[in-house]
Amino acid sequence: DIQMTQSPSSLPASLGDRVTITCRASQDIGNYLRWFQQKPGKSPRLMIYGATNLAAGVPSRFSGSRSGSDYSLTISSLESEDMADYYCLQSKESPFTFGAGTKLELK
């Protein structure tokens, strides 16, 4: 199975900060990478697909990028509503696999 190594597991940050979360794929997944946001008691929400494409309705402060096997989700200026858990998902090869998650919290 393809392993997705996500870091950091926890990210304390302040409002207005620029923050970045990264997933590293254990083998080539091309751009078959999605990012999700999940708030307590809610279903995951698709934020980024195809590694760099913003999903419908997602604020433009969110962006996705790729450098080789490293995939990043960046929030350019953190807002209070962004405090949540974030997960990556590779869908290049079955079984699809998720990163372990990053808890974004206020410093």
Partner 1 sequence: QVQLQQSGAELAKPGSSVKISCKASGYTFTSYYISWIKQTTGQGLEYIGYINTGSGGTNYNEKFKGKATLTVDKSSSTAFMQLSSLTPDDSAVYYCAKAGFAYWGQGTLVTVSS
Which residues contact partner 1 (rule: CB under 8 A)?
34, 36, 43-46, 49, 55-56, 87, 89, 91, 94-101
Q: Measured from the CB of residue 37, what is the shortest distance to partner 1 in angstroms?
A: 12
Q: Measured from the CB of residue 22, what is the shortest distance to partner 1 in angstroms?
A: 16
- Compare residues 66 and 103 and give the one whose CB is closer to partner 1: 103
Q: Measured from the CB of residue 77, what is the shortest distance to partner 1 in angstroms?
A: 25
**From the centroid of its chain, how far is CA 97?**
13
- Compare residues 15 and 59 and give the one whose CB is closer to partner 1: 59
Radius of gyration of the chain (CA): 13
- Compare residues 24 and 45 and give the one whose CB is closer to partner 1: 45
Q: Measured from the CB of residue 53, what is the shortest distance to partner 1 in angstroms?
A: 11
- Asked whether the bond before 8 is cis by omega within 30 degrees of 0, the reply is yes
